[in-house]
Structure 1
Amino acid sequence: MTAADSQIHVMLVDDHAIVRQGLRSILERDTQIKVIAEAASSGECLALMDRATPDVLLLDLKLSTSSDTEGLDLAREIADRHPKVAILVLTTFLNEDLVKQAVQAGAKGYVVKDVDTDALMRAIHDVSRGESAFDARSAAAMVRSMQAPAPETTPGLSPRELEVLRHLARGLSNKEIGKRLYVGETTAKFHVGNILRKLEVSSRAEAVYEASKRKLL
């Protein structure tokens, strides 16, 4: 595998050209990250996706159109048409509803634009590996948004799976979970897979959301 093959290909979606230029300059300091495309709108993004599919879509939810939901609508469409693309929200807006809606739309992570450079790069690496990535304030907002009565039925998670679930909620990777529980990464991944299946979700972020809603954390 060449160095180019191992790079994380990123598409930037933000309606401000100066923001995209700044992000490109920052991200490409990491030799493992390559910005392959930029888009200012959902239509432009979808057109570009037909020619070059990125590993990570770095998406601002608030694009300058008459629709306040364009970013969320785009996330849903990308998640449906290109399920292998990891969507990472990068926005100035932070509230419980937006974080919850972003996760439900298919986002694997949510960070605010005042996050430091290293944290943003870590988030891109994390979601490219299938992990979730939330900064501290976004994670707290998501948990607050999920404070709801538990449903009548709860999944039959084993004590070990509940333990793994708590580590998932802290944003740990499979490898990190394995180290904490003194098991191999493959075993940790197996437990995570069981959790997703039992909670009937498709991503780690959705698992944390569903578990919080069911008061399993």
Structure 2
Amino acid sequence: MPSQPTSLLPRPIRVVLVEDHDMVAEAIGMALDRASGMEVVARSRSIASALAATRRCRPDVVVLDRRLPDGDGVSAIGRLREEAEHTRVLVLTGEATASVATRVIEAGGAGLVLKSSRLDELEAAVRQVAAGEVVFAPGLLGGALDRLTGRAPAVGATLTPRERETLLLLAEGLSTGEVGERLGVAHNTARNHVQRVLEKLGARSKLEAVAIARREELLD
């Protein structure tokens, strides 16, 4: 049977890979390049270079690291899509929560994949996103949709401005007494602020409260 004319062959999925860790970028880049019907057309190490590569290459999918030297990848999703309106963005993250998934959805992202995922799982996610699907773990997507529809409040949503201030001071490693001094309030008042922060975050200690706040990006 004669070979199919090149012009009739399906166009490969064009990918821009944005990852600043060389070993991770090399492993992902090689895996995607070797995948059938897929081509990494550019690699970037920053948001700025990703915007330029997206403008130049018009990829089908941008595989975007969440944390980059010049900023938060999620916050760049809108700008990337402005550079090439048909481009879809798949975010890579080291830790995924419903809070992060909500931000990705709100920004117009098409999916969220853990860096710990197998390379074949990442390849499958790229194919799904290129085909117009969204890729989120079921628990993450459900939690994100609950937040977006108002059925579940975001973690920390009920913190008052003074309680948020208290949380930021706890993140600096201050004791309850030092929090009171910084806020200019009595020790008992500072202790009450700290206790309410713990209750609203569902934390059993100040250290756990700070860990939850970092995970939910309440300190950014």
Displacement of 1:45 in angstroms is: 1.0
Displacement of 1:4 in angstroms is: 6.7
1:39 matched to 2:41? no
1:97 matched to 2:90? no
Task: Name the Cα RMSD after superposition.
Answer: 2.3
User: 1: CA distance between counterparts of 2:102 and 2:135?
Assistant: 14
Aligned residues: 147
Long gaps (5+) in structure 2: 153-220
- Structure 1 residues 73 and 54, CA, compared in 2 at 3 Å: closer, same or farther? same
Could you report, residue by residue, the CA deviation over 1:14-56 in whole angstroms, capped at 9, with x for unpaired residues? 1112211110111123121111100011111112223211110
Displacement of 1:78 in angstroms is: 1.3
Long gaps (5+) in structure 1: 151-217
- Structure 1 residues 47 and 4, CA, compared in 2 at 3 Å: closer, same or farther? farther
CA contact (8 A) 1:75 1:106 kept: yes
Structure 2 length as normaliser, TM-score? 0.60
1:27 matched to 2:32? yes
User: 2: CA distance between counterparts of 1:115 and 1:38?
Assistant: 20
**Secondary structure at the counterpart of residue 51 of structure 1:** helix
CA contact (8 A) 1:110 1:138 kept: no
Structure exhibiting the larger radius of gyration computed from Cα positions: 2
Structure 1 length as normaliser, TM-score? 0.61
Displacement of 1:98 in angstroms is: 1.2
Query: Equivalent residues in 2 for 1:51-130 (5 A)?
Result: 51-65=56-70, 67=71, 70-130=72-132
Displacement of 1:63 in angstroms is: 0.9
Q: 2:102 is matched by which residue type in structure 1?
A: K
CA contact (8 A) 2:15 2:42 kept: yes
Q: 2:56 is matched by which residue type in structure 1?
A: R
**Secondary structure at the counterpart of residue 116 of structure 2:** coil
User: 2: CA distance between counterparts of 1:125 and 1:115?
Assistant: 15
Displacement of 1:59 in angstroms is: 0.5
**Secondary structure at the counterpart of residue 57 of structure 2:** coil
1:8 matched to 2:2? no
CA contact (8 A) 1:87 1:108 kept: yes
1:50 matched to 2:52? no
Displacement of 1:142 in angstroms is: 2.5
User: 2: CA distance between counterparts of 1:22 and 1:138?
Assistant: 26
CA contact (8 A) 2:14 2:40 kept: yes
**Secondary structure at the counterpart of residue 53 of structure 2:** helix
User: 1: CA distance between counterparts of 2:75 and 2:144?
Assistant: 19
Query: Equivalent residues in 2 for 1:146-157 (5 A)?
Result: 146=148, 148-149=150-151
Displacement of 1:137 in angstroms is: 5.0
User: 2: CA distance between counterparts of 1:22 and 1:4?
Assistant: 27
